[in-house]
Amino acid sequence: MLVYLITLFVVVLSAFLAEKSKSVFVSRCLLGIAFVTMVFVAGLRDKSVGTDAGYYVRDFNKIQKFADVVDITSKRQEYGFWILIWLVHLASNEYMFFFLAIALIVVACYQRVIVAHSANIGVSFFIFIAMFYTFFFNAARQGIACAIFALAIGPLLKGNFRKYVGYVLLACLFHNTAIVMLPVYFLVNRACTFKNSLIIVLVACFMLFFADKIIAFAATYQPRYAEYGEKGMGGGYLSVSFTVANFIFLYLFKKSISIERKQYDLFLNMLLFRIRSIRVKKGQNQQY
């Protein structure tokens, strides 16, 4: 736990000072410190840190030649992830470099989005470290896909559908399920009114109600998706309740927003999409 607290302190302090600095060079150096800290903490961890990290290390050790990539992509697709493994092997066969490569991609994507779109990068980095940073420790493919999709926020705000689709398709190279974000463009890119919020909730309820059927259909295409329908340990209720409370507060607070109202509404709609049940896997012992 101590290493995460130190990371949180270093990153948030660096971001805060970078925002206050009047020197572009100093600001970039401070953001560089934040970036390197997050990458090294994620990349130099033991393979026992992260529920699925051991499985990813097993895949890394198994796929060393491009012929291995061709073989596995014919079965599991998601070409980007397996090609990434092959490229890392060109540099080293140590899994530490694999973790570093994943961390570089994920942290670079999120930091770019935060710096480009946040009004207070110190607070944004705090939220990122506290709530989202360790997600890719457990789910590398999903973590990379989410990070790449985060880059689509810019095109989403500007109404650039083609570029948005490009980022979604790039994310699909690491996790096929990213394709579900295509229709999200038309749902969240509108005013956050009661009517539109109700539509989003109804769509989410529809997807939740037919989740088992959707997963079963996906499993016929990729058998490994069948495990997504398995119930794990409880634990999603607290996260959902916290997100609901956040949405209600921010929805009521929007009356006080007079600038960047469209952007505020878009983020509110995206937050509403996050309100869902979360399947929590049984954790493993973690150590550094």
pLDDT score of 208? 61
In Å, what is the CA distance from 193 to each residue of 37, 147, 199, 272? 40, 28, 10, 12
C-beta of residue 127 within 8 angstroms of C-beta of residue 118: no
Reply yes or no on whether the pLDDT at 234 is more than 70: no
- Summarised one tens digit per residue, pLDDT across range 14-23 is 999 999 999 9
Side-chain-facing half-sphere of 185: CA atoms under 13 Å: 24
**SS3 at position 147:** helix
3-state helix, strand, coil in the chain (%, to 5): 75, 0, 25
pLDDT at 210 over 70: no
Radius of gyration of the chain (CA): 20
- Residues above pLDDT 70, as percent of the chain: 75
pLDDT of residue 16: 95
Cβ contact 88:97 at 8 Å: yes
Please indicate whether residue 119 or residue 189 has the higher confidence score (pLDDT).
119
Residue 119: both structure tokens together = 């009004």
Q: How far apart are the first and last CA of the chain?
A: 10
Distance (Å, whole) CA 8 – CA 2: 10
The residues, any chain, with a CB within 8 Å of residue 21's CB and separated by 6 or more, are 27, 30
Q: Helix, strand or coil for residue 233?
A: strand
Q: Decide: 274 and 243 in contact? Cβ < 8 Å.
A: yes
